[in-house]
């Protein structure tokens, strides 16, 4: 059973995760447009992962007998600047999401909602990984500097990223484990 406050906060986070997916889809489109196919692939995988995050919370709210309330998704930007800028913007957004998750966990403590607290542990770990991935690419891009060979190599590396669907479960693999 979710409190009104908890339900509202989780519905807001569903919207944040939808926006993350939308943002990364926009970054994928932008990367393809400027000729960075590996970047486009990386962000397409990121988009798919964000949809998994969205559905994890969606399923959780349903399972707890709460009412999912879908809200409008804000329009993401269409221009993201240099390859380094794209990843700096990604890291900035992920830091925002980390703060949202931390705020949600703080609310579970206030509301004494142990179930939601346990549910959110997965997201805490996930955010550590997301920020680490972004920092890694940012470091490589800084090392490569203006060297086109370096950028070519990074693009090739990002092209290898593959989306791994969540383990199939009764939800048909929408993200709930």
Residues within the interface to ligand OFO (CB under 6 A):
17, 20, 50, 53, 94, 97, 130
Minimum CB distance to ligand OFO, residue 97 (Å): 4
**30 or 56, CB closer to ligand OFO?**
56
Number of H helices, E strands in the chain: 5, 0
Secondary structure (3-state) at 28:
helix
Minimum CB distance to ligand OFO, residue 17 (Å): 5
**59 or 94, CB closer to ligand OFO?**
94
Minimum CB distance to ligand OFO, residue 110 (Å): 22
Minimum CB distance to ligand OFO, residue 116 (Å): 17
Residue 46 has a CB neighbour count (10 Å cut-off) of 24
**130 or 151, CB closer to ligand OFO?**
130
The kind and range of the H/E element at 155 are helix 148-159
End-to-end, the C-alpha distance of the chain in Å comes to 19
Q: Tokens for 64, please give them.
A: 């707890």
Residue 70 has a CB neighbour count (10 Å cut-off) of 10
**90 or 151, CB closer to ligand OFO?**
90
């Amino acid at each position: 059973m979710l409190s009104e406050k908890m339900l509202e906060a989780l519905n807001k986070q569903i919207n944040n995760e939808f926006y993350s997916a939308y943002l990364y889809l926009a970054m994928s489109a932008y990367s393809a447009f400027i000729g960075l196919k590996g970047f486009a692939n990386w962000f397409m995988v990121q988009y798919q992962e964000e949809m998994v995050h969205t559905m994890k919370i969606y399923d959780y709210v349903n399972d707890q007998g709460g009412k999912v309330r879908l809200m409008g998704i804000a329009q993401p930007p269409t221009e993201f600047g240099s390859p380094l800028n794209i990843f700096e913007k990604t890291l900035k957004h992920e830091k925002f999401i980390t703060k949202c998750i931390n705020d949600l966990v703080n609310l579970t403590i206030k509301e004494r909602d142990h179930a939601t607290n346990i549910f959110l542990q997965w997201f805490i770990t996930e955010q550590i990984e997301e920020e680490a991935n972004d920092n890694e690419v940012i470091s490589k891009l800084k090392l490569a500097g203006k060297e086109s060979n370096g950028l070519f190599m990074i693009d090739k590396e990002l092209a290898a990223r593959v989306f791994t669907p969540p383990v199939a479960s009764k939800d048909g693999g929408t993200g709930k484990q």
